[in-house]
């Protein structure tokens, strides 16, 4: 039994906003209130959270954990350590592992690994198509029985529109979303960065916005026609978000996420960082207009979720010419700092909206229980909002140190992560 004292608690879903104590017993929240009186004080451990903000546990609904198959890039264990260090109580890993998570055996394996570790919780995403090959539907029904929360072929689009239409029809019975990696591969082919001023200047092949937007449009059309559920992954352009907004206004069941790297950086970074392959990501860092548009769509409520698309790679894989490096940024340990620095401190969002983007909305989309409420298991992200810190990739728990944010000064450091009542991270230390 322990009590979290004097933290500033933020959870609009449960009408909480203010300095409060939270009493936790056997993993459960048993009391929330101002100055909870503690009778037999000796048996109760007290954590003073003065100056810290207590959020309902953050869920990162888009990560790549690389296990099974590429344990040199990340394992479930290193990925979940990185998650709790980054302030997340749960993550949804994408199925582009080896083997692909397209059947119940892989889903069960992932769930079992995570259960033993007792770090962050894991909510697997199953493939839409067998082997993410885009040829025939995967065993979505049996994966759902095992516990997948969504389907996606992330890493690739499902190019065949008829097959995508069938997927939209099929998932309706499970009420799970199809998460779209929106990319027209004929348009993006061989591209390595955003198409524009900088791709020309740097002599690199560009990926235009249209490669993304055509598929966002297609998937909205298919979702609307089938009255199904769509979630757009890593939206990076003004056009993508404009189409999502229009679809939402029409009543289409579509949600959208953006990543910290897309709302923070632009394609200019490829030049600034001297062709560092840590700036290479899919979709690419876009121009300033698109970056500013993303921020406006976060401000006006159209963006539902901030997800990291945590994509760890080895140094060996990244340490090649720009053209040949894999796409991806290791992002789960810098996400909260970037949200605080780039959005909260700049008044794009407030504390309530931050809880919505990182906890309430991802839970709604994936149907995960949570929230700061009597009787619920304690899943909490406790953040030191005003703490300044400097990103040091060599201190990452993730095996992937492929970050374009190294040495950046940020506000907002995760202080404590509580999963099912267990304090799994405190002050940067993982407590097993
Ligand atoms: N985002 C990336 O640049 N890379 C992801 C794949 C993906 O999210 O599409 C990866 O798996 O490495
Ligand atoms: Zn993707
Ligand atoms: Zn991804």
Residue nearest to atom 10 of ligand 1 (CA): 311
pLDDT score recorded for residue 40: 67
Q: What is the rounded distance in angstroms from the CA atom of residue 129 to the CA atom of residue 135?
A: 7
User: Catalytic residue among 219, 290, 304, 309, which?
Assistant: 309
| C-beta of 281 in contact with ligand 1 (< 6 A) | yes
Sequence spans of domains, the chain? 58-364
Q: For residue 267, indicate whether it is catalytic.
A: no
Handedness of CA 213, 218, 224, 227 (dihedral sign): negative
Judge whether 218 is annotated as a binding position: no
Class (C level, CATH) for 58-364: alpha beta
CB crowding 41-61: b at 16 or more within 10 Å, else e = eeeeeebebeebbbbbbbbbb
Provide Rg for the chain, Cα atoms: 21
Give the strand pairing for 2-11 and 53-56.
Answer: parallel
Please report the beta strands in 276-379, taking only residues with DSSP state E, as ranges in sequence order.
305-306
Tell me whether 0.95 is exceeded by the ipTM: yes
User: What pTM does this model have?
Assistant: 0.98
CA of 98 to the centre of ligand 2 (A): 16
Residue nearest to atom 6 of ligand 1 (CA): 155
| C-beta of 331 in contact with ligand 1 (< 6 A) | no
Cβ atoms of 65 and 93 closer than 8 Å: yes
How many CA atoms are closer than 13 Å to the CA of 171, on its beta-carbon side?
Answer: 33
Q: Is the peptide bond before 331 cis (omega within 30 degrees of 0)?
A: no
Q: Is the peptide bond before 395 cis (omega within 30 degrees of 0)?
A: no
Show pLDDT as tens, one digit a residue, over the chain (432 residues): 999 999 999 999 999 999 999 999 999 999 999 998 877 667 899 999 999 999 999 999 999 999 999 999 999 999 999 999 999 999 999 999 999 999 999 999 999 999 999 999 999 999 999 999 999 999 999 999 999 999 999 999 999 999 999 999 999 999 999 999 999 999 999 999 999 999 999 999 999 999 999 999 999 999 999 999 999 999 999 999 999 999 999 999 999 999 999 999 999 999 999 999 999 999 999 999 999 999 999 999 999 999 999 999 999 999 999 999 999 999 999 999 999 999 999 999 999 999 999 999 999 999 999 999 999 999 999 999 999 999 999 999 999 999 999 999 999 999 999 999 999 999 999 997
Q: Is 308 helix (H, G, I), strand (E, B) or coil?
A: coil
| C-beta of 327 in contact with ligand 1 (< 6 A) | yes
Q: Is 125 helix (H, G, I), strand (E, B) or coil?
A: strand
Q: What is the rounded distance in angstroms from the CA atom of residue 155 to the CA atom of residue 98?
A: 13
Residues 273-304 pLDDT 10s: 999 999 999 999 999 999 999 999 999 999 99
How is the beta sheet containing 230-232 ordered, strand by strand? 125-126, 150-152, 178-180, 230-232, 254-258, 305-306
Give the position, in ligand 1's atom list, of the atom nearest the Cα of 327.
3
Residues 39-96 pLDDT 10s: 766 789 999 999 999 999 999 999 999 999 999 999 999 999 999 999 999 999 999 9
């Amino acid at each position: 039994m322990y009590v979290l004292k004097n933290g500033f608690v933020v959870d609009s879903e449960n009408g909480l906003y203010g300095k409060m104590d939270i009493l936790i017993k056997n993993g459960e929240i048993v009391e929330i209130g101002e100055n909870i009186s503690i009778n037999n004080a000796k048996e109760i451990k007290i954590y003073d959270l003065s100056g810290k903000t207590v959020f309902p546990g953050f869920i990162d609904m888009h990560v790549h954990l690389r296990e099974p198959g590429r344990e040199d890039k990340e394992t479930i264990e290193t990925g979940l350590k990185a998650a709790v260090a980054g302030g997340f109580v749960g993550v949804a890993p994408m199925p582009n592992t080896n083997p692909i998570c397209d059947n119940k055996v892989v889903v069960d394996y992932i769930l079992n690994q995570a259960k033993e570790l007792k770090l962050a919780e894991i909510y697997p995403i199953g493939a839409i198509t067998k082997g993410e090959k885009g040829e025939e539907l995967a065993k979505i029904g049996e994966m759902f029985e095992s516990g997948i929360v969504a389907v996606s072929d992330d890493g690739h689009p499902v190019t065949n529109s008829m097959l995508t239409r069938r997927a939209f029809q099929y998932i309706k019975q499970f009420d799970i979303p199809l998460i779209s990696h929106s990319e027209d591969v004929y348009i993006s082919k061989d591209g390595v960065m955003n198409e524009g001023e900088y791709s020309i200047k740097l002599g690199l092949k560009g990926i235009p916005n249209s490669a993304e937007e055509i598929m966002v449009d297609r998937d909205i059309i298919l979702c609307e026609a089938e009255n199904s559920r769509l979630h757009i992954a890593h939206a990076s352009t003004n056009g993508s978000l404009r189409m999502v907004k229009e679809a939402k206004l029409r009543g289409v069941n579509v949600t959208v996420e953006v990543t910290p790297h897309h709302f923070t950086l632009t394609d200019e970074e490829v030049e600034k960082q001297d062709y560092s392959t840590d700036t290479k990501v899919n979709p690419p860092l876009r121009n300033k207009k698109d970056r500013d548009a993303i921020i406006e769509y976060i401000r006006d409520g159209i963006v539902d979720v901030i997800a990291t698309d945590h994509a760890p790679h080895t140094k060996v894989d990244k340490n090649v010419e720009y053209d040949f490096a894999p796409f991806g940024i290791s992002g789960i340990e810098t996400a909260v700092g970037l949200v605080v620095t780039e959005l909260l401190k700049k008044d794009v969002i407030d504390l309530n909206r931050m809880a919505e983007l990182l906890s309430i909305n991802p839970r709604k989309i994936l149907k995960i229980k949570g929230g700061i409420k009597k009787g619920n298991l304690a899943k909490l992200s406790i953040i030191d909002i005003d703490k300044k810190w400097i990103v040091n990739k060599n201190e990452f728990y993730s095996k992937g140190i492929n970050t374009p944010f190294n040495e950046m000064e940020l506000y907002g450091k995760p202080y404590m992560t509580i999963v099912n009542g267990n304090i799994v991270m405190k002050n940067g230390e993982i407590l097993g």
